[in-house]
Structure 1
Amino acid sequence: MTYAMADIEQDRKYSGCEHYQRKCSLLAPCCNRFYTCRFCHDENENHKLNRNDVEQVKCLKCQKVAEVQSHCVNCNEEFARYFCQICRLYDEVDKGQFHCKECGICRVGGRENFFHCGKCGLCLGVGLQNKHKCIEKVSQGNCPVCMEDLHTARVAAHVPPCGHLIHSTCFEDYIKTGGYTCPLCNQSMLSMRNVWRMLDQEVRNTQMPEEYANYRVQILCRDCHKECKVLFHVIGLKCQHCGSYNTCRTAENEETLDEVVTPQEDGGNAEDAEENEENLVAESDDSSAGRQESSSVGDDNMQLDQDGSSPNQDGGTSETVQGVCDEVTSEDSDSWQTAGESDPDGETK
């Protein structure tokens, strides 16, 4: 009995390649050569293989060449536990693969854990249904960090509050360098409440020179998208609506006040600030559930200067922003993950 079980395990050993475990190779019609997978082909040729064009496979056990199918027609060997006729995908490792007709590709993570958003054009975690910001065909583009394709990437994607996508690995690297805003729209991708409190303290402890003591500027908040006039401060310009320091100067005329004004410490409109705080907490709670629901997605086979001596257009200094962002980690993110892809390709059905 033990010997028989050993034989079974031996039979399940796959030659495959570093990308996939399988018992067959694909015949690339573009160069008439056999490769275990399209990635092996692309790494060794000066052109790319569209796997949908593959019509024949070769059994790695008996070397029989036949049409694309799940078993060898000669020795009846099963090429892999998962097989997709449409994508020409064979994979021995169980990753919860499923084919999404709307996406036109196979994805991983379990069909029951995801739904397809027709407007966004990709599969999202069920926790995001009716709760995410839809952007028309948001996945049909490149990651703003690495500029690689999002829809067919082999890495899961984060969905920050603004709705723009970024590869999860790029997102992790991005925040480690001090970045906290979306590379496309500059809205905060993380909960920055603690950082804003730190900047409040810095503003209170840093007295401005006399020539800037009563200098007011017009700013636009990148988080709540509202404009207001605030006292200029070299540390940062705080939105009087939501309390965010993620702001920028606008083209409105600045002015100098005749009377001395003490900078507001409560962020201006208390009701707006309180409402914004509640929304951030709610988003944070929802995102924690979303990360738990999509925790199986991140599969490796697929699944985001001024010196401070004078005013600048962004209302602060690069050094200050870099320093405070050291306190921010990916755990503060309000992001979600998309469904990963099992074997992506640029062509979609």
Structure 2
Amino acid sequence: MESSGDNARLGFGKMGYGCNHYRRRCKIRAPCCNEIFPCRLCHNESTKDRHEICRHDVQRVICVICDTEQAVAQVCSNCGVNMGQYFCGVCKFYDDDIEKRQYHCNECGICRIGGKENFFHCQKCGSCYSIDLRDKHVCVENSMRHNCSICYEYLFDSLKVTTVLKCGHTMHSQCFHEMLKHDKYSCPICSKTVADMSRAWRKLDEETEATVMPENYRFKKVWILCNDCNDTTEVFFHVIGQKCSHCDSYNTRVVAPPVLPR
């Protein structure tokens, strides 16, 4: 049975040490360059040649309370302090801030935050998603294993919150909202609409009806491809936009130009 003294020693310095990324009571020795850093992210940000640590390769840590270097473990072998309230022996990861509700996903192979009960691992997408998306999202193989199409940061192990778009592609939530602020409503990867545009389409209907084309263009037709339903059809050319006759979307592109009058 642990005594109050044991508990006090384990908790000594909790949340009092760490870096901008994590609160923890140890540093790591980088297996690639043999130098000491507060965490792997500090290493990745500071190295001039931009080489990165594989989290699973870390073998040695240094307790910041007693400065003892030792093999990876949760409790310091010298002073008995808990070097991280949350500890993962697979990821060699320490963090005192357990309000993040960290958990290790065996399928992802890394630790994630938010509480295991709130997420499920989608085998096809290859990542953990909110349980709100179970059976309610479009699966895209390895959808998180690419860079955010806005800021180009790698998504799979990013510390930022991500959003799954209607089309199944992913990006940072902050980048998604910034994109909407700049009136960009289509996925940068597949060009499908990412928001409910029914009101906007109705407004374009009204503008199209109110804008009469010149006589020479009134009966000219073009072939269009709808980015939303992938339907290809021939429609009358209009300067406001071309409406898909299949799904009523204006998110279309001309694949054959109008025949201009001579």
Whether TM-score is above 0.5 comes out as yes
The residue aligned with 1:231 is 236
Asked if residue 96 in structure 1 is aligned to residue 101 in structure 2, the reply is yes
The residue aligned with 2:4 is none
Q: 1:26 aligns with which of 20, 25, 28?
A: 28
Cα distance, 1:254 vs. partner?
5.7
Asked if the contact 2:10–2:75 (Cα under 8 Å) also holds between the matched residues in 1, the reply is no
How many Å separate the matches in 2 of 1:158 and 1:170?
Answer: 9
Partner SS state of residue 249, structure 1: strand
Output aligned runs, 1:61-210, within 5 Å.
Answer: 61-94=65-98, 95-210=100-215
5+ residue gaps, structure 1: 1-5, 257-349
Pick which of 239-248 and 167-176 moved more.
Answer: 167-176
5+ residue gaps, structure 2: 1-7
Q: 2:19 aligns with which of 12, 17, 30?
A: 17
Q: 2:59 aligns with which of 55, 60, 69?
A: 55
How many Å separate the matches in 1 of 2:120 and 2:135?
Answer: 11
Pick which of 163-172 and 186-195 moved more.
Answer: 163-172
Higher helix share: 1
Matched AA of 1:21: R
How many Å separate the matches in 2 of 1:146 and 1:128?
Answer: 24
How many Å separate the matches in 1 of 2:130 and 2:79?
Answer: 41
User: What do you get for the CA RMSD once the two structures are aligned?
Assistant: 2.2
How many Å separate the matches in 2 of 1:224 and 1:11?
Answer: 57
| Cα 1:220/1:254, change in 2 over 3 Å | farther
Count, aligned residues: 251
Pick which of 143-152 and 177-186 moved more.
Answer: 143-152
Asked if the contact 1:28–1:34 (Cα under 8 Å) also holds between the matched residues in 2, the reply is yes
Cα distance, 1:31 vs. partner?
2.3
Cα deviation, 1:49-89, whole Å, max 9, x if unaligned, reads 22222111111111111111001111110112110011111
How many Å separate the matches in 1 of 2:219 and 2:227?
Answer: 24
Partner SS state of residue 99, structure 1: strand
Cα distance, 1:170 vs. partner?
1.7
How many Å separate the matches in 2 of 1:30 and 1:109?
Answer: 30
Structure with more relative contact order (C-alpha pairs < 8 Å, separation 6 or more): 1
TM-score by length of structure 1 reads: 0.67
| Identity percentage of aligned residues | 44
How many Å separate the matches in 1 of 2:46 and 2:103?
Answer: 29
Asked if the contact 2:29–2:59 (Cα under 8 Å) also holds between the matched residues in 1, the reply is yes
| Cα 1:223/1:158, change in 2 over 3 Å | same
Asked if the contact 2:221–2:235 (Cα under 8 Å) also holds between the matched residues in 1, the reply is yes
Partner SS state of residue 202, structure 2: helix
